[in-house]
Amino acid sequence: MRARDVMTSPVIAVQPWSSAKEAAELLSTHGFTALPVVDDDERLIGIVTEADLIRDQIPADPRYTHLHKHAATAARTVGDLMTSPVTAMSTGTDVADLCQTLVDDRIRAVPIVDGSTVVGIVTRGDIVRVLARNDSEIAKDVKHRLEIYGGDGRWKIDVHDGSVHIVDQFDDDSDRHVAQLLALAVPGVVAADTAYAGEEQTR
């Protein structure tokens, strides 16, 4: 499974001179947690997150100012708030590697680029939605890919909690290996194994 399979695209981006309020409105309206920041040529130059936008933006209640050490600053531009340089990945990045980056770097979103142009974004929420895919939807996608590769009626597919078991009517180890790889590329699949129907019947 690759980043292109799970990314949100087209992506909504802002520019460094966009106001903090405009960025906040976009995040609120679309339910995003982060926005890529691009220049005039749509090249990625940073990212602005919810945390960036709320930092020092809410003034202290004047009735209790003695309880607050930090005063809010005036609204700023995205360029003042954004994180740069930003971690980005290509459309062909393995989702397993992308997930590891989200966890290890403690970030909520990774822009996806083609060269230096932003073409999508992957968030933790996107990954969770993939993991939550219905087994019947996964089975349908796996079946479609296998039928394109090996023909209709050849494969029996069972899916349980994202784990796929494929039974091949033909005794061909090479084809079953390809079938396993095709299944693992389907969004929502967490594991896949194969078996020959003749062996299944003798168990």
Q: Are 81 and 53 in contact (CB under 8 A)?
A: yes
**Residue 56: closest CA among 69, 78, 71, 76:** 71
pLDDT computed for residue 195 by the predictor = 95
Q: CA-CA distance, 85 to 95, in Å (whole number)?
A: 22
Residue range 131-178, pLDDT digits in tens = 999 999 999 999 999 999 988 889 999 999 999 999 999 999 999 999
pLDDT computed for residue 65 by the predictor = 61
Where would I find the H helices in the chain?
Answer: 3-6, 20-30, 50-54, 78-81, 95-104, 124-131, 135-150, 173-184, 197-201
Which of the two residues, 134 and 69, has the higher pLDDT score?
134
**23: CB partners within 8 A, 6+ apart:** 14, 35, 48, 53, 78, 81
Let me know the angle formed at the C-alpha of 40 by 25 and 108, rounded to the nearest 5 degrees: 45
Domains and CATH numbers, the chain: 3-131 (3.10.580.10), 135-201 (3.30.1340.30)
**Is-above-0.85 flag for pTM?**
no
